[in-house]
Chain A
Amino acid sequence: MARDPILEVEDIEKAFGGIRAVDKCSLTVLPQSITGLIGPNGAGKSTLFNIIAGLYRPDGGEIRLDGGRIDGLPPYEIVTRGLTKTWQIPHELRNLTVLENVVLAAKGNSGEHLLNLFFRPRQVKRDEQRWRARAREVLKLTQLDKLADEHAVTLSGGQKKLLELSRALMSDPAIVLLDEPVAGVNPALAGSLMDLIETLRREGKTFFLIEHDMNVIMNRCDRVIVMHQGRKLAEGPPQTVKTDPVVIDSYLGG
């Protein structure tokens, strides 16, 4: 494990009013890993994810992606640098089709610049066709291809989770932050979703995920980080963490 971490979080702090949601939290995620983040409700896991993705500005600390600082950057800039986050509560674009939702996640689609529409029409057309084709491939992977032309609002809760993952994959990120990817997804679908994540990891992607499903944490993650009261409480391979008395006490229960 001599590899440099892809993501480094150092002394990150965030308070909402009097509540210290994240309190000098430091952790690292290794490249090509599936790293789990667990902890009791209110431990600061989702807040930390939102800070890493640039949606909240931290009060202090540093975040480095592949060695470069990303804290304080706007979310769209962080996506461009290769880090994408999915939402715990799906944020599907309701009245856009599933395919439109996914195409939108493409990076560098020239037609999204107003002037290109007039001055580079051929490139715009070429890009759009390419990204649509790519989006269809992604939807096949996540088994949403049959619903491509439906409005996203019509999807079920589990399908919306798949749409979240589809959009994340479309941006071709180096690392994906998944906020409870299988919550509300039926067991069979959750299994194939995690299989897909393992396949993608073998292809070089890194996954950092919050999950309360202990099956996912124990069987699918290489490393688990435990958060409690805004800080990292413990970390290690799932089996070690599982037997750590401190973790049992604060999260897993006797």
Chain B
Amino acid sequence: MAATPGRSRPAQTSSAQGIAIAIIFVIAITPAIVGQIVLPSGVIKPLSTQGLPGTLINIGFYISISIIFAILALGFNLQWGYTGLFNAGVAGFYLIGAYVAAFAITAPSPPIVIANVVVYPGHLGGYSLPFVAGAILAMIASGGTAAVLALPALRLRADYLAIATLAFAVILQIFARNLTSLTGGAIGVVLIPKPIELQPPSAFFNTMTIIGIGAAVLLFLLLLLQFISESPWGRVLRAVREDEEATMALGKNTFRYKLQAFALGGAVMGLAGALYASTVGYVQESYFAPAVTFSVWVMVIVGGSGNNRGVIIGAFLIYGLEWFSVQMKDYFTDFGDQIFYVRLMVVGALLILLILFRPEGILRETKRVLR
């Protein structure tokens, strides 16, 4: 398929891979450190308050959002990297997870009307459930939606699947904007509690708990996905990716495998949505634009489609560029707005170089030598 021209990859030793991971991780978190330390800290602080805690909060924000993107990338990798399902609606499953978790864990939030003007239309839910319950509901909602959407959509050929899923995501975003009494409309859902709240609230503590929880979830997901996708089951997924018809002729019910991979990938994206809602504290439809989907594609392609560790690195790297450009925007106040476009150019150039010189990504898919 288009994004993986001529996959040919020699065997790779695990130690070389370990070193590669270490190096890439250093590169990946460099933007965060550079943004904070090299640049005069008095000039840039859109998120930081003051001093070391503020700086850590700022870096912490980068890490926690990167973790969320890494989870999205893992979900997409199961669908695309392993199974070859071109999901162009990542943002849609992410949105469902974020909203469902937000509905579940916020306190009741009735409409606010001041002098006959609807200041806030309210939203569904408001059940004050614990974060874990919200996350589980988010996974069920996103995974279930993925399964239902898959029933007709997975019967389509690759490019039509992309169109169907893209349309699905865009429609969801429009619903989220316009079903104001259900979703809070353009304002969205606000005042979403953190998984663990301290009294009095501490931004530093919140950031660190979010990172801790996010890192634990990411590690757990990595191990789980590695376990299932490197099993005989995952081997069938890769077979479907290579040639669905041939896999069917080898006696596999390929539709069942595609359905499972698509639904599980969707559930993983829903979990990312739940983490996002709780990390940022609000969800707004404008965030869940197709651009999110495209970012996740880039992360997976850059990191290494079909390599779970690779796509995590891709997420830290690509989100790092975005985060860095935000930092720079506040530094170069004269032409801050242009920085955004500079980032797009940098990402574009990076992609072109990668496709030319290392089409398999930073960490290539490993060759499975069976003993």
Contact = CB atoms under 8 A, between A and B. Distances in A.
Given A95-B242, A97-B370, A149-B369, A124 B248 contact: no
A112 B227 CA distance: 13
A104 B250 contact: yes
B294 interface: no
Contact of B232 (A92, A94, A112): A112
24 contacts: A53-B249, A55-B245, A74-B248, A75-B248, A76-B253, A79-B249, A87-B246, A87-B249, A93-B238, A93-B243, A96-B238, A96-B242, A96-B368, A103-B232, A104-B236, A105-B251, A107-B251, A112-B232, A112-B235, A112-B236, A112-B252, A124-B231, A132-B370, A153-B7
Given A111-B231, A114-B233, A85 B249 contact: yes
Name the residue in B233, B251, B369, B371 with the highest tally of chain A Cβ atoms < 10 Å from its Cβ. Answer: B251
Interface in B347-371: 365, 367-371
Contacts of B371: 132
A128 to B, nearest CB: 6
B260 A74 contact: no
B128 interface: no
Interface in B218-263: 227-228, 231-233, 235-236, 238-239, 242-243, 245-254, 260
Interface in A76-92: 76, 79-80, 84-85, 87, 91-92
Interface of A: 53, 55, 74-76, 79-80, 84-85, 87, 91-97, 99-100, 103-105, 107, 109, 111-114, 117, 124, 127-128, 132, 148-149, 151, 153-154, 167, 171
Contacts of B227: 117
Given A111-B231, A117-B227, A96 B252 contact: no
Given A95-B365, A104-B250, A107-B251, A117 B233 contact: yes
Contact of B250 (A79, A128, A148, A149): A79
Given A76-B252, A104-B236, A114-B260, 13 more contacts: A75-B248, A76-B248, A76-B250, A80-B251, A85-B249, A91-B246, A93-B242, A95-B9, A104-B247, A105-B251, A112-B236, A132-B370, A151-B367
A112 B233 contact: yes
Interface string B120-140: 000000000000000000000
Contact of A153 (B8, B228, B233): B8
Contact of A114 (B7, B228, B239): B228
B272 to A, nearest CB: 21
Contacts of B7: 94-95, 153
Name the residue in B9, B233, B236, B245 with the highest tally of chain A Cβ atoms < 10 Å from its Cβ. Answer: B233
Contacts of A92: 243, 246
A104 B248 contact: no
A93 B246 contact: yes
B306 to A, nearest CB: 8
B250 A105 contact: yes
Nearest to A53: B249
B238 A95 contact: yes
Contacts of B368: 96-97, 100
Contacts of B260: 114
A104 B233 contact: no
Contact of A75 (B232, B236, B249, B365): B249
A171 B369 CA distance: 21
Contacts of B253: 74, 76
A77 to B, nearest CB: 8
Contact of B239 (A96, A109, A128, A154): A96
A97 B251 contact: no
A240 to B, nearest CB: 33
Contacts of B8: 95, 151, 153-154
